[in-house]
Amino acid sequence: MHHIYHTNGFILNSHNKGEANKMLTIYTREMGLVRAMVQGVRLHKSKLRFSMQDFSYAKIDLVRGKDIWRVTTASNISTFPFARKSRPSLLIIARISKLLERLCDGEESNEKIFDDFIQALYLLDNTDIEPSSREALELHLVLRIMDSLGYIGESADLLSYLGCPINLYKTNLLLKEKQSIISHINKALNESQL
């Protein structure tokens, strides 16, 4: 008998497999980045198809098979409907998803990154978010992801952005130091060699 792992996860992307299956890349709180097969999800009768869409946040049950993880059940937490309707917000979600997939390859938990990411998604899913706040939120999140992975060194300039949870007030202050923040992020990305 297989052990069932219960976790919350965000679907970073998916690829069709066979006639009705999908291979998902899921970022989870407890297990980090997981690649898992979900069978029959593309069939119209599938109960999982709405909760297993790209850029969806769900409660997911996983079983470790011989070679691969398999999704057994899932229930939707949020599809972030307002962010999905906003092209700029959707592009930010796509860019952050690609970054997480690139930098967090492997089943290694980082609860800080997960919590920051989900908090940023909820902030993006606000109909009143300003374009400047969107831009600042993306910068703040990327900076915190890079710091959590150890790519940002000690910097007094950045302490106020790294030491508190993500919120729009702090994030909007970040725009005053935009060029310096971008420079720190680009340096960290280059040093990561990923």
In tens, the pLDDT along 166-182 reads 888 878 788 888 888 88
Does residue 1 register a pLDDT over 60? no
Q: Which of 27, 53, 78 finishes a domain?
A: 78
Q: Which of 78, 103, 119 finishes a domain?
A: 78
What amino acid occupies position 27? Answer: Y
Same domain, 101 and 8: no
Band (pLDDT 50/70/90 cuts) for residue 194 is low
Same domain, 153 and 67: no
Cα 14 to Cα 56, 101, 122, 128, 138: the distances in Å are 11, 12, 22, 30, 23
Number of folded domains that form the chain: 2
Same domain, 42 and 101: no
- C-alpha span between 153 and 32 (Å, rounded): 23
For 152-171, write each residue's pLDDT tens digit: 877 777 777 888 788 888 78
- C-alpha span between 34 and 31 (Å, rounded): 7
Alpha-helical runs (H) found in 13-130: 81-85, 87-103, 111-124
- 40 near 17, Cβ under 8 Å? no
Which domain does 167 fall in, by range?
A: 81-192
For 6-27, write each residue's pLDDT tens digit: 999 999 999 999 889 999 999 9
User: What is the mean pLDDT of the segment spanning 48-59?
Assistant: 91
Same domain, 14 and 107: no
Average pLDDT value over all residues in the chain: 89
- For residue 8 the two structure tokens come to 């919350």
For 109-145, write each residue's pLDDT tens digit: 899 999 999 999 999 999 888 888 999 999 999 999 9
Q: Can you give the pLDDT at residue 106? A: 79
